């Protein structure tokens, strides 16, 4: 029997109100996104004919399609597949995750590896869909939010931000007290994360009588970041608007006037307040300009997106009924009953299924077997941990993997483990195994690569099952190892070079050279381009930098700038667009370090003038190899 009941009309009101508030807030904040100064908006700065397109809503339309496509048991794996198929955003964490997914990586590793934007707002803004399909079940909403966030924010604050908002919004269907809702959200994220600390500090400053302007400055002082999309500061701005605002309009304006990631803060707070108030209590002057329309960004495509909020609401509710039934969440949607009184529900008792997610390693991928299994603890579970260097291997190098095989079934599993490797690669030989029900097998294995390898390399672990001394079945677990970038580096102020393989686009001078001394650091390699194409070459760094290509200065910047290794918004002074011939090109980078940490990402990106839909994507076929021959074969 269901322990909680939600009236069907209440369900509709809160879902429609949430989507309407999302559209209002996104349209208010989008035109001033990235403004770091204190703003003074009193209404939409740009009044469109309908709402503005916004990734805050766009991506949730994709997730609704994923629920309709795969059902309520969907995981980060299916969400990653949807991303590659339907989302063509190259922005910040989106771009890095999409690059990893295109290379064959899967979440959470795809969302963490080589990604400098895991602490940002791209996932906290996607929380509403999970709350709306799991009404009155914050732990279920938080689980979905985790699956979503690890696609592009694994290991970062973006994961906690989405879990925080999703649990709040799910609880709104039963509980509407602001302070209690914030407490529910905080219980669903670890108290030690930056997001929780920022919110706790804000609550304390509010209780101490600080006004909203003082609170804004304190957030920036104690939790601020130069990157306007950093999650903890923006989540705090969202809650600031809620704490200090007197009504819907005042709450939204206070949040957006804090500046920074304004479309995100206003859109999320608009959704929360829209869910609490319902559409009938939202002010007409804010509702009328956006109406019932949905405007989808052109980079999000290939599926039947809802055309109106009405359609979106009904499709969300239909998915929600399936989710509640599948999860046995103890929530029933009924037209003939009132919504349950909230007094006897303790959403602060967070189940272990949520808290365990906080400690799930983001360096490891988990595979449920047989293939297609989406429910844990039914059969086999394989975990492959790639370590902090991620799924990267040097040319002629080795990769150590930590593996765990668990038998959750009620039958013993006996068999052999074998590697399926590209030509010239080697691993250990056949490994026999026996797993009783509940048994766990852990081991490490080392993969050896030859000198010549592909940019992406498909590996498989074959699990042969033997039953009654006969070959019975086999499971093939596929994953990808990426060729490391090989550079010759020196510094500070040294002329002796050493060859280093770096896992990803980051040239980590300090770790490789075991020094943080100021001075000039140098990196030399060969850029291998398989065919002529337009390229945007980016040196993602805050430091003064000079880049040569084939002995000619490509660009130089003697000034310190913001560290922004984004495909689409790196400083113009630290990039160059050119038509690059097929072949092997000499590249040299000199970078000046002061007392601050040194960060450098070298990014080969599709030049912006090629395609309006396909711009700013990472050119995954280009690679850096200091030992590459001078001419392509």
pLDDT tens figures, 264-295:
999 999 999 999 999 999 999 999 999 999 99
Which residue from 418, 478, 424 is spatially nearest to 453, judged by alpha carbons? 424
What distance lies between CA 16 and its chain's CA centroid? 26
pLDDT at 67 over 80: yes
What distance lies between CA 574 and its chain's CA centroid? 25
Backbone torsions φ then ψ of 13, nearest 5 degrees: -60, -45
What distance lies between CA 200 and its chain's CA centroid? 24
Q: How far apart are CA 445 and CA 442, in angstroms?
A: 10
Is the domain covering 4-355 a CATH 1.10.4080.10 domain?
Answer: yes
The predicted model gives 560-581 an average pLDDT of 95
In the chain, the largest separation of any two C-alpha atoms, in whole Å, equals 80
What distance lies between CA 107 and its chain's CA centroid? 9
Q: How far apart are CA 551 and CA 585, in angstroms?
A: 9
Q: How far apart are CA 99 and CA 102, in angstroms?
A: 5
The predicted model gives 334-360 an average pLDDT of 84
pLDDT at 178 over 60: yes
pLDDT tens digit sequence for 542-551: 999 999 999 9
pLDDT tens digit sequence for 44-53: 987 778 899 9
Q: Which two tokens stand for residue 559?
A: 């000034």
Domain ranges, ordered by start, for the chain: 4-355, 363-482, 485-624
Predicted TM-score (pTM) of the model is 0.96
Alpha-carbon separation of residue 63 from 72, 82, 127 (angstroms): 11, 8, 10
Residue-level pLDDT at 165: 98
Residue-level pLDDT at 46: 79
The predicted model gives 68-85 an average pLDDT of 96
- Which segment of 3-7, 151-155, 340-344 scores lowest on mean pLDDT? 340-344
Domain 363-482 homologous superfamily, CATH: Immunoglobulins (2.60.40.10)
pLDDT tens digit sequence for 189-217: 999 999 999 999 999 999 999 999 999 99
Looking at the DSSP bridge assignments, the partners of residue 6 are 333
Helix (H, G, I), strand (E, B) or coil at 218: helix
Q: How far apart are CA 101 and CA 449, in angstroms?
A: 22
Alpha-carbon separation of residue 393 from 17, 475, 482, 485, 503 (angstroms): 50, 25, 6, 9, 7
Residue-level pLDDT at 1: 45
What b/e readout covers 124-133, taking b as 16+ CB neighbours within 10 angstroms? bbbbbbbbbb
The predicted model gives 94-109 an average pLDDT of 97
Q: How far apart are CA 345 and CA 622, in angstroms?
A: 55
Is it true that the peptide bond before 276 is cis, omega within 30 degrees of 0?
no
- Using DSSP bridges, classify how beta strands 498-502 and 575-580 pair: parallel, antiparallel or unpaired: unpaired
Look up the CATH number of domain 485-624: 2.60.120.380
Q: Which two tokens stand for residue 253?
A: 């304006």
In this prediction, residue 371 has a pLDDT band, given cuts at 50, 70 and 90, of confident
Q: Length of the chain, please? A: 633
């Amino acid at each position: 029997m269901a322990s909680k009941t939600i009236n069907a009309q209440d369900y509709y009101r809160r879902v429609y109100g949430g989507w309407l508030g999302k559209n209002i807030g996104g349209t208010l904040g989008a035109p001033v996104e990235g403004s770091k100064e204190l703003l003074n908006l009193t209404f939409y700065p740009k009044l469109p004919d309908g709402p503005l397109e916004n990734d805050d809503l766009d991506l949730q339309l994709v997730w609704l399609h994923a629920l309709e496509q795969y059902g309520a048991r969907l995981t980060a794996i299916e969400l990653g597949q949807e991303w590659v198929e339907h989302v063509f955003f190259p922005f910040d964490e989106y771009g890095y995750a999409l690059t990893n997914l295109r290379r064959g990586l899967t979440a959470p590793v795809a969302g963490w590896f080589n990604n400098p934007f895991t602490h940002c707002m791209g996932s906290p803004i996607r929380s509403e869909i999970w709350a709306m399909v799991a009404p009155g079940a914050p732990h279920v909403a938080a689980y979905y939010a985790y699956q979503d966030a690890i696609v592009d924010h694994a290991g970062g604050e973006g994961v906690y931000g989405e879990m925080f908002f999703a649990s709040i919004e799910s609880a709104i269907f039963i509980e509407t007290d602001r302070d209690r809702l914030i407490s529910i959200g905080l219980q669903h994220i670890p108290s030690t994360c930056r997001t929780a600390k920022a919110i706790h500090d804000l609550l304390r400053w509010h209780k101490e009588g600080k006004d909203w302007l003082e609170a804004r400055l304190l957030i920036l002082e104690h939790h601020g970041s130069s990157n306007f999309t950093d999650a903890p500061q923006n989540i705090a701005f969202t809650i600031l608007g809620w704490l200090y605002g007197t009504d819907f309009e005042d709450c939204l304006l206070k949040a957006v006037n804090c500046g920074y990631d304004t479309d995100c803060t206003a859109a999320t707070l608009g959704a929360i307040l829209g869910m609490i108030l319902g559409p009938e209590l939202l002010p007409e002057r804010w509702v009328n300009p956006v109406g019932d329309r949905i405007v989808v960004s052109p980079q999000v495509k290939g599926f039947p997106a809802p055309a109106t909020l009405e359609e979106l609401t009904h499709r969300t509710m239909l998915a929600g009924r399936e989710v509640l039934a599948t999860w046995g969440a103890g929530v029933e949607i009924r037209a003939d009953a009132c919504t349950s009184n909230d007094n006897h529900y303790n959403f602060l008792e967070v189940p272990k299924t949520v808290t365990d997610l906080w400690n799930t390693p983001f360096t490891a991928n988990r595979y449920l077997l047989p293939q297609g299994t989406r429910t844990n603890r039914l059969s086999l579970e394989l975990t492959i941990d790639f370590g902090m260097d991620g799924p990267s291997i040097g040319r002629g190098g080795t990769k150590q993997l930590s593996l765990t095989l668990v038998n959750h079934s009620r039958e013993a599993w006996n068999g052999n483990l074998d590697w399926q490797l590209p030509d010239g690669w080697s691993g250990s030989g056949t490994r026999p195994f026996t797993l009783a029900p509940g048994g766990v097998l852990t081991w490490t294995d080392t993969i050896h690569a030859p000198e010549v390898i592909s940019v992406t390399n498909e590996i498989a672990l074959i699990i042969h099952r033997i039953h009654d001394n006969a070959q019975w079945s086999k499971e093939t677990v596929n994953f990808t190892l990426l060729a490391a970038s090989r550079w010759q580096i020196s510094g500070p102020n040294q002329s002796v070079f050493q060859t280093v393989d770096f896992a990803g686009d980051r040239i980590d001078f300090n770790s490789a050279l075991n020094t943080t001394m100021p001075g000039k650091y140098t990196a030399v390699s060969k850029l291998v381009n398989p065919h002529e194409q337009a390229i945007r070459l980016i040196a993602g760094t805050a430091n003064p930098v000079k880049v040569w290509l084939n002995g000619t200065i490509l660009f130089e910047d003697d000034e310190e700038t913001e560290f922004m290794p984004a495909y689409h918004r790196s400083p113009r002074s630290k990039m160059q667009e050119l038509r690059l011939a097929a072949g092997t090109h000499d590249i040299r980078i000199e970078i000046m370090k002061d007392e601050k940490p040194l960060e450098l990402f070298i990014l080969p990106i599709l030049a912006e003038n090629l395609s309006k839909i396909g711009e700013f994507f990472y050119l995954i076929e280009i690679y850096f190899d200091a030992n590459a021959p001078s001419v392509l074969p």
